[in-house]
Amino acid sequence: MEQHRTDRTGWLRAAVLGANDGIVSTASLVLGVAAAHATHSSILVAGVAGLVAGSMSMAAGEYVSVHSQADTELADIEREREELKTNYECERKELAEIYVGRGLEPALARQVADQLMAHDALGAHARDELGISETLKARPIQAAFYSAASFAVGAAMPLLVTLIAPEASLIPFVSVTSLAFLALLGGVAARAGGANATVGAMRVTFWGALAMALTAGVGALFGTVV
């Protein structure tokens, strides 16, 4: 059987988004606090707090968002179930018209619609009329778990560098390694999704560098003023 990448979209999106946010937000937080001339221990505390808060925020946000999508899907399926009970013939014609629109001859489209509806009428309409399938349906808990776990993994990378880097060289160490982590993540994610790895790496690295630069600038300004 052929292997396709569409079955990865749900967890891949959540995992990549979480890891990317973990690296960018934690590295930016560390750089901002470091640029404000905080102590090494204060920088670590801020980074750990950012990891915990960010993981929970990602999990909650992803769960609510994907659960809303799941609720919409369930509502559409229930409406379709009711329409199949009350107006089966109209639904059969509607399904056949969908297949005609995709290129089948009318007679063949009616035959396909009849056979699919005889096998699983609701499943056929959910898939071909509503665009809802088992592979692509919303999974709130899975999305929340992947987002939280991947954020924590991503955030742990700049935190580990912060822990072992010399205090005098902390900012360049965290900056360079975090950008390297982002480039690697962007390339791997793009390759896993079938896209160009170089473009994916450059895109993620650019926005990460911008976020870190802005946050470090704010920290430096705040440290100077205070």
Q: In whole angstroms, what is the distance from residue 36 CA to residue 43 CA?
A: 10
Whole-angstrom Cα Rg for the chain? 24
Pick from 10, 29, 217: which is nearest to 18 by CA?
Answer: 10
Q: Which residue has the higher pLDDT, 54 or 80?
A: 54
Q: Considering the domain boundaries, does residue 143 fall inside one?
A: no
Q: Percent of the chain at pLDDT above 90?
A: 24
Q: Considering the domain boundaries, does residue 173 fall inside one?
A: yes
Q: Tell me the HSE value of 224 on the side-chain side, using a 13 A CA sphere.
A: 6
Least confidently predicted of 15-29, 63-77, 109-123, 212-226: 212-226
AA identity, residue 77: I
Give the model's confidence band at 223: pLDDT under 50 very low, under 70 low, under 90 confident, else very high. low
Q: Considering the domain boundaries, does residue 120 fall inside one?
A: no
Segments forming the whole domain that contains residue 45: 6-63+151-225
Pick from 164, 196, 190, 220: which is nearest to 28 by CA?
Answer: 220
Q: What is the count of structural domains for the chain?
A: 1
Q: Considering the domain boundaries, does residue 194 fall inside one?
A: yes
Give the model's confidence band at 11: pLDDT under 50 very low, under 70 low, under 90 confident, else very high. low
Tell me, what's the pLDDT at 119?
A: 86
Q: Considering the domain boundaries, does residue 209 fall inside one?
A: yes
Q: Considering the domain boundaries, does residue 163 fall inside one?
A: yes
Average pLDDT across the chain, whole number: 82
Q: Considering the domain boundaries, does residue 95 fall inside one?
A: no
Summarised one tens digit per residue, pLDDT across range 152-182 is 999 999 999 999 988 888 999 999 999 999 8
Supply the pTM of this predicted model.
Answer: 0.68
Least confidently predicted of 43-47, 149-153, 200-204: 200-204
Find out whether 158 and 23 touch, Cβ atoms under 8 Å: yes
Q: Considering the domain boundaries, does residue 14 fall inside one?
A: yes
